């Protein structure tokens, strides 16, 4: 059982009433009243709690406005924030438990959103609520699959290879974003300083997304080779050390975009107003 589940069970055993069960002749309950609880229940509860906190904050800080949640600047900021969480989950608990897996699932959801906003803007624009709803449904489906891990023992495989897909997509999105912004800089003619600053921020953010997306691709194959083909486990550590080293570059490259987001929060958004007078929340003028 995952360490967090064991801690919750131990705390509950120490604080629960003497016996809240009605009279029973069930030998399993007589010998252990906690037989009503199992790892599947606790892992489902953990997923509900962890996703509610993480995604609740992501939505709360944007006023539960789907359009603002899909803002490119906000997504890059959340994307960079997960880089702090990634090493933290390794430092505080070195077991490959479900907290790590749920965290990676949350990170993957942000990567899918980045790909949609950058590469499929015409699909996402105007349908942000539906896109976020589909993303939440996917997160819930994989969470339930992971919670029932004791029936199949492959939740780690599914989440790891889902990360391979999402990292590939965010790497592609980074290349698209950087090249599109670069073309805007070179072929845009005379531009306002705020527009030039935004385009440079997109170039750097795209480079950071590509750096992260492509450097993490070896991790799932290495993990699979270790588990199923007896590769030396030290290669898992080497792969993650390479990922963490690349994260330093990615965080630095994301800084200009985060700066624009923070400035927007303080002073409002003045550089991207569409023909209707509305903010275009992160959809580039070069889309």
CATH number, domain with residue 247: 1.20.1070
- How large a percentage of the chain has pLDDT more than 90? 67
205 to 47, 199, 217: CA distances (angstroms): 30, 10, 19
Average pLDDT over residues 190-209: 91
Tell me: pLDDT of 278 over 50. no
136: in domain: yes
**pLDDT score at 16:** 53
88-102, 117-131, 145-159, 209-223: least confident range: 88-102
206: containing domain: 39-267
Q: Which 3 state secondary structure label does DSSP give 20?
A: coil
276: in domain: no
281: in domain: no
**pLDDT score at 276:** 41
- Mean pLDDT over the full length of the chain: 87
Name the one residue in this structure whose structure tokens are 């002073």.
267
Residue 59 sits in the same domain as residue 22: no
Number of domains comprising the chain? 2
- How large a percentage of the chain has pLDDT more than 70? 85
Structure tokens at 181: 């912004």
pLDDT band with cut points at 50, 70 and 90 for residue 45: very high
Tell me: pLDDT of 188 over 80. no
160: buried, middle or exposed (CB in 10 Å: 19+, 13-18, 0-12)?
Answer: buried
Residue 4 sits in the same domain as residue 120: no
Other beta carbons within 10 Å of 197? 16
Q: Which 3 state secondary structure label does DSSP give 273?
A: strand
13: in domain: yes
Residue 48 sits in the same domain as residue 66: yes
Residue 49 sits in the same domain as residue 24: no
274: buried, middle or exposed (CB in 10 Å: 19+, 13-18, 0-12)?
Answer: exposed
- Find the radius of gyration of the CA atoms of the chain: 22
Q: Which 3 state secondary structure label does DSSP give 231?
A: coil
29: buried, middle or exposed (CB in 10 Å: 19+, 13-18, 0-12)?
Answer: middle
Average pLDDT over residues 101-108: 94
287: in domain: no
121: in domain: yes
282: in domain: no
C-alpha 284: how far from chain center: 23
15-24, 96-105, 259-268: least confident range: 15-24
272: in domain: no
Average pLDDT over residues 231-238: 96
pLDDT band with cut points at 50, 70 and 90 for residue 176: very high
**pLDDT score at 275:** 41
Residue 15 sits in the same domain as residue 44: no
Residue 96 sits in the same domain as residue 219: yes
Residue 12 sits in the same domain as residue 143: no
Structure tokens at 230: 């007896």
Better-scored residue on pLDDT, 286 or 257: 257
Residue 20 sits in the same domain as residue 159: no
Residue 58 sits in the same domain as residue 96: yes
C-alpha 189: how far from chain center: 37
Residue 4 sits in the same domain as residue 66: no
Residue 131 sits in the same domain as residue 236: yes
Residue 236 sits in the same domain as residue 162: yes
> What whole-number distance in Å separates Cα of residue 146 and Cα of residue 107?
16
């Amino acid at each position: 059982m995952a360490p967090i589940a064991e801690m919750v069970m131990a705390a509950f055993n120490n604080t629960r009433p003497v016996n809240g069960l009605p009279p029973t002749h069930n030998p399993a309950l007589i010998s252990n009243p906690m037989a009503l609880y199992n790892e599947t229940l606790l892992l489902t509860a953990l997923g509900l709690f962890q996703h509610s906190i993480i995604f609740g904050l992501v939505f709360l800080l944007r006023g539960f406005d789907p359009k603002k949640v899909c803002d490119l600047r906000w997504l890059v900021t959340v994307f960079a924030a997960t880089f702090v969480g990634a090493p933290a989950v390794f430092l505080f608990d070195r077991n490959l438990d479900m907290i790590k897996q749920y965290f990676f699932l949350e990170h993957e959801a942000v990567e899918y959103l980045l790909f949609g906003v950058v590469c499929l803007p015409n699909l996402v624009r105007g349908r942000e609520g539906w896109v976020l709803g589909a993303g939440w449904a996917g997160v819930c489906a994989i969470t339930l699959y992971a919670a029932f891990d004791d029936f199949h023992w492959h939740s780690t495989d599914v989440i790891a290879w889902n990360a391979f897909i999402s990292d590939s997509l965010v790497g592609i999105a980074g290349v698209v974003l950087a090249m599109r912004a670069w073309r805007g800089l070179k072929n845009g003619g005379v531009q306002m300083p705020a527009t030039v600053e935004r385009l440079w921020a997109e170039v750097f953010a795209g480079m950071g997304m590509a750096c992260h997306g492509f450097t993490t691709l070896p991790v799932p194959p290495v993990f699979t080779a270790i588990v199923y083909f007896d590769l030396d486990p030290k290669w898992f550590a080497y792969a993650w050390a390479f990922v963490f080293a690349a994260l330093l570059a990615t965080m630095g490259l994301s800084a200009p975009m985060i700066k624009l987001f923070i400035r927007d929060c303080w002073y409002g958004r003045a550089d991207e107003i569409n023909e209707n007078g509305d903010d275009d929340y992160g959809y580039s003028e070069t889309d």
